Structure 1
């Protein structure tokens, strides 16, 4: 599978120094939309979903480029490839909480950005470790619209076929005006690692997992958002939207960073800071 055939689920951010390869033409019949095969999410159903806004130097405007999840009152989990450039500046990032429609008006400023140390800017998502933590300027007040997603126990295992959910705004274009667009949700089955490797080859690392089926998938712009499954009656986040070949193709499910691979790193950061 040649690199140029893999279509990353991220907006290229050239003005921010991003260097993520995205094929410019996804091919006929593929719409550049967000969550594929999904529908509008209800208010308060996914209270941990956040939107990650970037300041676009070129157009001098805020752009909603990625999703993320609230895993602690002051910490957001997202994808490392959502944070472009060698030296990202915190003032260029804001986080939207508790809203179904894109809006940065009462968003929270990011105070600290921690990309996973094993994430490589050169290899991008294909090197693995596609996770990042964002510390917010102040702890957020939980409400019926803003809440935390639990992290899975290290021992938890979810069998292939487990039906999980992925959410996101999946914007369609970098310079396009943000049309009011409701958060989308779609149910996706987990795919066995060996099945996923049959199609993607050795690009699937141990710290990745696959989910989705034909017509049901995360897509362009959903990067960094949460893949959640029920664990003993509680929602837990098992994946972070990372990459995929186009969207919703048979045999090419969405690829996610596997949250259990990063638990020690996440806990170290969110519990060690005052």
Structure 2
């Protein structure tokens, strides 16, 4: 819930540097809005954890009489303003438990300064909007600039990728329901129908950082053209497809990044990143997955890779499932796929950018599963024998395409599935998320 605080400000002033900022140096500065250099922040690196998400904001603008200022952040903040009263005395006003601040200036004034700190430990609030009389001065906000400098806290340890918190069993049974929290990095993608104004579930995705969800290119496009970001929504921490989950969080998409060589027909370079408009707060039910890299192969028990897919895709009744399902399947050789349907797999497979997986036994990815991950459990240490070991889940592939039935545009579960090979796109992913 957004809480809005309204301050009637007779005169807001920036105090001397010693009053506003710590004496310890050096201070680092940043422009939190790419499109406006009048808004500037300063922060001190290396502070103790409880203060590591604190910074100072100064807006070097002329504010007219009776103007209304609205400042929004991507998470809840504690804010401190220094106000000069009619008696020329200074007082500091503290606000908390909200992510939006509203101020009224009853006299013209130049400049506005204040201190911001995240209400939740380990979560740094970033400026999302700054309007004066409904005119937006921060159309292109910047997030994450303090992450390299903020001290680690217990809350930030949620960012450890690919590890569950909720108790679970590692054994996989094809098509079996999962439990809430089993796959906390799985995301649900929804598309807005502009005619009915209803949101329709379209695909899955995977949380890979505080700001990005990984999915298939065809999930973020229509016949090859990138979707408008406003029509795409993401829900994290969701278990049941219909109805509200108390632990789920809805996110808007700030930017859709399709691979530059993405092709819809034929389907190639089927990969996309969704940059979220606000940072993700990690919980037991919302966490990031790891990305599979070449060196992860060394820790696996054999060269035969077994992976797990999850989703709400079509079941045997050709309907979306109500709760997340999981299935385990092996990666198979390109030759194995080609033998089953040479025409289809010749067009869709590439031994670098895609791979083929499945059992061709009636358990498969289907409509609605696209964009979800083919994930591999990678032990922390090299596996010897069958002993249990700790480890993390790594995204090896993205569900991309499969053979359709003859009687309907619905998957044929007796065929193998084509996956985008994430391992081949690591450089492309890191280029955009870091």
**TM-score tier after normalising by the smaller chain length:** 0.7 to 0.9
User: Taking structure 1 as the reference length, what is the TM-score of the superposition?
Assistant: 0.76
Q: Could you tell me which residue of structure 1 aligns to residue 258 of structure 2?
A: 115
Aligned match of 1:145 in 275, 281, 285? 285
Q: Secondary structure at the match of 2:221?
A: coil
Q: Could you tell me which residue of structure 2 aligns to residue 100 of structure 1?
A: 239
Aligned match of 2:364 in 206, 217, 224? 217
CA distance in 1, matches of 2:378, 2:266: 31
Instruction: Label 1:200 to 1:155 Cα distance change in 2 as closer, same or farther (>3 A).
Output: farther
Q: 1:87, CA displacement in angstroms? A: 4.2
1:77-96 CA distances to partner (integer Å, 9 max, x unpaired)? 00001122324211101101
Q: Could you tell me which residue of structure 2 aligns to residue 129 of structure 1?
A: 269
**Bigger shift: 67-76 or 199-208?**
199-208
CA distance in 1, matches of 2:327, 2:287: 20
Aligned match of 1:235 in 393, 402, 412? 393
Q: 1:162, CA displacement in angstroms? A: 2.8
State the structure with more CA Rg. Answer: 2
Asked if residue 257 in structure 1 is aligned to residue 420 in structure 2, the reply is: yes
User: Taking structure 2 as the reference length, what is the TM-score of the superposition?
Assistant: 0.49
Q: Could you tell me which residue of structure 2 aligns to residue 77 of structure 1?
A: 214
The answer to whether the Cα contact below 8 Å between 1:216 and 1:248 also exists between their aligned partners in 2 is: no
The answer to whether the Cα contact below 8 Å between 1:51 and 1:95 also exists between their aligned partners in 2 is: yes
Q: Secondary structure at the match of 2:257?
A: strand
Asked if residue 268 in structure 1 is aligned to residue 409 in structure 2, the reply is: no
The answer to whether the Cα contact below 8 Å between 2:220 and 2:226 also exists between their aligned partners in 1 is: no
CA distance in 2, matches of 1:262, 1:104: 35
Q: Could you tell me which residue of structure 2 aligns to residue 29 of structure 1?
A: none
The answer to whether the Cα contact below 8 Å between 1:81 and 1:130 also exists between their aligned partners in 2 is: yes
What RMSD over aligned residues (CA atoms) do the two structures have, in Å?
Answer: 2.4
Q: Could you tell me which residue of structure 2 aligns to residue 208 of structure 1?
A: 354
Instruction: Label 1:87 to 1:225 Cα distance change in 2 as closer, same or farther (>3 A).
Output: closer
The answer to whether the Cα contact below 8 Å between 1:160 and 1:192 also exists between their aligned partners in 2 is: no
Where do 5+ consecutive residues of structure 1 fail to align? 1-35
CA distance in 2, matches of 1:200, 1:130: 21
CA distance in 2, matches of 1:181, 1:160: 35
1:101-153 CA distances to partner (integer Å, 9 max, x unpaired)? 125874100100001111113x242xx21000000011111110001100012
Q: Could you tell me which residue of structure 2 aligns to residue 13 of structure 1?
A: none
Instruction: Label 1:254 to 1:41 Cα distance change in 2 as closer, same or farther (>3 A).
Output: same
Q: Secondary structure at the match of 1:194?
A: helix
Q: Secondary structure at the match of 2:291?
A: coil
The answer to whether the Cα contact below 8 Å between 1:154 and 1:263 also exists between their aligned partners in 2 is: no
Q: Secondary structure at the match of 1:72?
A: coil
The answer to whether the Cα contact below 8 Å between 1:64 and 1:171 also exists between their aligned partners in 2 is: no
Equivalent residue pairs, number:
228
The answer to whether the Cα contact below 8 Å between 1:40 and 1:184 also exists between their aligned partners in 2 is: yes
Instruction: Label 1:144 to 1:58 Cα distance change in 2 as closer, same or farther (>3 A).
Output: same
Structure whose residues are more often strand by fraction = 2
CA distance in 2, matches of 1:138, 1:41: 28
The answer to whether the Cα contact below 8 Å between 1:238 and 1:259 also exists between their aligned partners in 2 is: yes
Asked if residue 185 in structure 1 is aligned to residue 326 in structure 2, the reply is: yes
The answer to whether the Cα contact below 8 Å between 2:314 and 2:321 also exists between their aligned partners in 1 is: no
Q: 1:179, CA displacement in angstroms? A: 7.8
